[in-house]
Amino acid sequence: MPTVLDDTLLDDPTRLAEADSSGLLRAAAMAGAQVRATAEAAAELELSERLDMGRPRAVVLIDRPGVSRTLTRLLAALLTPSCPVPVVVAEVVPSWIGALDVVFAHTDDPGDRELAASLERAARYGASVVLSAPPEGPVAAAVAGKGLLLAPRIPVPAELAFPRGLAAGLLTANALGLLVSDVQVLADQLDLEAEKDYLARDSFANPAKALALRVADRVPLLWGLDPVAVAVGEHAAHAFAAHAATVCDVEDYRQALARPALRRAAQSGGRERDIFADPDDLSGDIPTRVLLLSVRTGPATDAARFQAEDLLPGADVIAPAEEIEADEIVRAAVLALRFELAAVYLGLAAGSIGGAGRFAPARA
d(CA 133, CA 263): 40
d(CA 162, CA 179): 19
Does 335 score more than 70 pLDDT?
A: yes
Kindly report, residue by residue over 83-118, the tens digit of the pLDDT.
Answer: 999 999 999 999 999 999 999 999 999 999 999 999
Q: What is the pLDDT of residue 352?
A: 86
Percentages helix, strand, coil for the chain (3-state, rounded to 5) are 50, 15, 40
d(CA 67, CA 364): 45
Kindly report, residue by residue over 22-77, the tens digit of the pLDDT.
Answer: 999 999 999 999 999 999 999 999 999 999 888 899 999 999 999 999 999 999 99
Query: DSSP labels for 159-195?
Result: GG-HHHHHHHHHHHHHHTTS----HHHHHHHHHHHHH
Distances (CA, A) of 190 to 20, 36, 39, 115: 21, 11, 14, 30
Q: What is the mean pLDDT of residues 193-215?
A: 95
Q: What is the pLDDT of residue 18?
A: 93
Other CB atoms within 10 A of residue 109 CB: 18
Q: What is the pLDDT of residue 354?
A: 61
Kindly report, residue by residue over 268-323, the tens digit of the pLDDT.
Answer: 865 555 444 554 554 555 689 999 999 999 998 889 999 898 999 889 999 999 99
d(CA 103, CA 166): 14
d(CA 238, CA 230): 13
Other CB atoms within 10 A of residue 94 CB: 14
Q: What is the mean pLDDT of residues 346-360?
A: 68
Q: What is the pLDDT of residue 278?
A: 52
Query: DSSP labels for 19-75?
Result: H-TT-HHHHHTTHHHHHHHHHHHHHHTTHHHHT--SS-SEEEEE--TTHHHHHHHHH
Q: What is the pLDDT of residue 301?
A: 87
- Percent of the chain's residues with pLDDT above 70: 91
d(CA 147, CA 52): 14
Global pTM value = 0.91
Q: Among 342, 242, 333, which Cα is nearest to 291's?
A: 342
Does 361 score more than 80 pLDDT?
A: no
Q: What is the mean pLDDT of residues 333-361?
A: 80
